[in-house]
Amino acid sequence: MPGSINDILPDRISEADEEVIQELLYRKMKGYAGLAVRLLHAMEKRFGPEAREVLAKMVEDLSYEPRADAGDPRADLHELCERVERGCAGTHIWDRVIDEPDRIGYHFTGCMHARIFRELGEPDLGFLFCAGDGPSVRAYNPKLGFKRTRTLMEGDELCDHIYLVES
């Protein structure tokens, strides 16, 4: 089950050292997430429920500038998934459950973001991290797509991500 920091390091580190690094990542991420939660609560206190409505609208309208050098969709699909795996090392646990030329699927069973925002009682705020997945895939290459039906952030037992070349 991938997710170890060792998956991306040129030289392996001990399990104990990896635990120290993961704990540091967790504390830092929880600090930043805690600040975001406090900001949201301050905005709610000042502006009422409209603060959350603004966040919901932000998620609904989320998009990113397309990458200017998008290439062959199949090659970009595999390159993107390699980047996803490298970016998730140390903070996520997953299995690659689909590995086809035009489709790659994952089951994420651990996510530090979901853990932290659920601990802080604000999974809706944490879902902002999840909401960027689809738009970032389309920005990487407009011929790529993203599907997900379950998320850890929303209380499901896993996130099911499918990255695909759209026909």
Over residues 105-156, the pLDDT tens digits come to: 999 999 999 999 999 999 989 988 889 999 999 999 999 999 999 999 999 9
Please state, in angstroms and rounded to a whole number, the distance separating the CA atoms of residues 167 and 154.
Answer: 30
Per-residue pLDDT at 37 = 97
pLDDT in tens, 59-74: 888 889 999 999 999 9
Q: Using N-to-C axis directions, what is the helix angle for 50-60 and 123-131, rounded to 10°?
A: 20
Place of tokens 């580190």: 13
Q: Which helix (H) or strand (E) holds 48?
A: none
Per-residue pLDDT at 58 = 87
The yes-or-no verdict on residue 1 having pLDDT over 60 is no
Q: Are strands 144-148 and 159-165 parallel, antiparallel or unpaired?
A: antiparallel
Beta strands in the chain (DSSP E): 92-100, 103-111, 144-148, 159-165
Helix/strand/coil percentages in the chain, nearest 5? 55, 20, 30
pLDDT in tens, 28-42: 999 999 999 999 999
Please state, in angstroms and rounded to a whole number, the distance separating the CA atoms of residues 108 and 96.
Answer: 9
Averaged pLDDT for residues 73-97: 96
State whether residue 110 is helix, strand or coil. strand
pTM for the full model? 0.89
